Structure 1
């Protein structure tokens, strides 16, 4: 598969088959991820794979908590939130045979001094985000689906994901990625804006 094809075929997959994702496939995803650019060559990322049934259930419930918080943040009525959550649980949205949590170790840095705390953090998050994109494109090549989960970053939820991963507060969760074989046909959406609208050449 050519890179252009993988880019164009990549889409957010929210429903997965129960088929397991093999350790070899997980390794291939992470091998692709760590080929991403990394600020100052630090490679201060960590990929925690949740595959056991018990821990996946806990991760799934945390995604549910995050979705409720998100819906409340956009001022959806509680009654509508209940209906949406019932549908999510009944239809198995985001329930996957594997979840990959991507963390950064905030202690690993290049520039010393508190005045560089913010920029070092931004660089680390950017590095992890590029690794996630590599992982997602590799997943397309392998016939796997992925979706970026951001709601697990809400306060109180992020800490619980860290605890499940056995990590302390020095680690920061950049993203949680469900991985599995798509249940339905993957149909990438067209972008709302074209190249001309988002490009400025000076």
Structure 2
């Protein structure tokens, strides 16, 4: 598959088949991820793969909690939140055979001094985000689906994901990626803005 095709085919997949994802495929995704650019060549990312039924169930419920918090934060009605619960618990939205949590180690940095704390943190998150994009594009090539989950970063939820991963507060969760074979064909959405709206030549 050509890169351009993978880019155009990538879309957020929220419903997955129950079948397992081979370990070789998971390793191929992470191999693609770590080929991403990394600020100061630090490679201070960590990919935690949740495959056991117990761990996946815990992650799934944390995602559900995060989704509810997000819906409340944008002032959606309890009626709509109840519809979300039905999608989550009755239809299995975001229930996947694999979850990959992507962390950065905040202790690994290039520039010393408090004045560089924010910059170092941003660089690390940007590096991890580029790694996630590589992972997602490789997934398209392998016939797998992914979706980026950021709601696990709500206070109280991120800490539980870290604990489940066996990590301490030195690690920051950049995102959780549900992974699996798409339950149904998902068509990429058309972008709302044109190239002219998001591009400026100077």
Deviation >6 Å, runs of 4+: none
Cα shift at 1:200: 0.3
State how 1:43-82 maps to structure 2 within 5 Å: 43-82=43-82
Instruction: Kindly indicate whether residue 128 of structure 2 is the aligned counterpart of residue 148 of structure 1.
Output: no
- Gap regions ≥5 residues in structure 1: none
C-alpha RMSD of the superposition = 0.7
Q: Name the TM-score, length of structure 2 as normaliser.
A: 0.99
Cα shift at 1:189: 0.6
Whole-Å separation in 2 of the counterparts to 1:125 and 1:54: 28
SS in 1 for 2:191: coil
Counterpart of 1:190?
190
Whole-Å separation in 2 of the counterparts to 1:83 and 1:34: 38
Counterpart of 1:168?
168
State how 1:122-133 maps to structure 2 within 5 Å: 122-133=122-133
Q: Deviations over 1:22-61 (max 9, x none)?
A: 1100000000000000000000000000000010000000
Q: How many equivalent residue pairs? A: 202
Counterpart of 1:27?
27
Whole-Å separation in 1 of the counterparts to 2:103 and 2:87: 30
SS in 2 for 1:49: strand
Counterpart of 2:107?
107
Q: Name the TM-score, length of structure 1 as normaliser.
A: 0.99
SS in 1 for 2:81: helix
Cα shift at 1:194: 1.5
